[in-house]
Amino acid sequence: MGVAAKIAPSMLSSDFANLASEAERMLKFGADWLHMDIMDGHFVPNLTIGAPVIESLRKHTKAYLDCHLMVTNPLDYVEPLAKAGASGFTFHVEVSKDNWQQLIQEIKSKGMKAGVALKPGTPIEEVESENPVEMVLVMTVEPGFGGQKFMPETMDKVRKLRQKYPSLDIEVDGGLGPSTIDAAASAGANCIVAGSSVFGAPEPSEVISVLRKSVEEAQLNS
């Protein structure tokens, strides 16, 4: 059996005015994690949420808050997010080549799980050193905005990572839904971030179930 399937609805697609009830709704529909997109308006042009929103949401849920930091200075966010109650802290390799040992140490010392993310154009070699992260996030769209089309060419990176690290959590984010999940699952992704395909569905629970089933079936057949 491979690494467990984890379905993480992207809260960027939720109704931010009702974040607590949206989180509860997703968990009721079968979500494993809640994916929180933290953007600084600098590393990516968009500006979203930060530690105060994570802290507010944490008061209403015990869920695993999977925080994806699309920011230029991730080190500045480690302490505030840990205090706010983040569960996982995924930073981008493109901005942390100089200090990522320190970054990973800081994240883990604050009790969060460390993950590293890479943009579609970033080669997998950038993360294939012996840096002990617990998750690698392969972006399947350019980071910064929801609702983009899935880029199938990014699946080569997932395949290479899975071959090399059979027990690593490999997350994919961007354009994931019933029509693209099989490509990601068969490449070896087990953590699936889905925004509009879940939140925009008449029956979100059915979409979450389709995503999970695809990952589990791909693992059985691998």
Alpha-helical regions (H) of the chain: 19-28, 51-58, 75-84, 100-109, 155-164, 181-187, 196-199, 204-221
The residue annotated as part of the active site, out of 37, 40, 66, 169, is 37
What gap in Å lies between CA 164 and CA 67, rounded to an integer?
A: 25
Neighbours of 210 (CB within 10 A): 17
Q: Assign 112 to helix, strand or coil.
A: coil
Alpha-helical regions (H) of 43-120: 51-58, 75-84, 100-109
Sign for the CA dihedral angle at 19, 21, 25, 31 comes to positive
The amino acid that residue 39 corresponds to is: M
The residue annotated as part of the active site, out of 32, 40, 66, 173, is 173
φ/ψ bin of 3: left (φ > 0), alpha (ψ from -120 to 50), beta (otherwise): beta
Annotated active-site residue 156? The verdict is: no
Annotated active-site residue 98? The verdict is: no
Catalytic annotation, residues? 37, 173
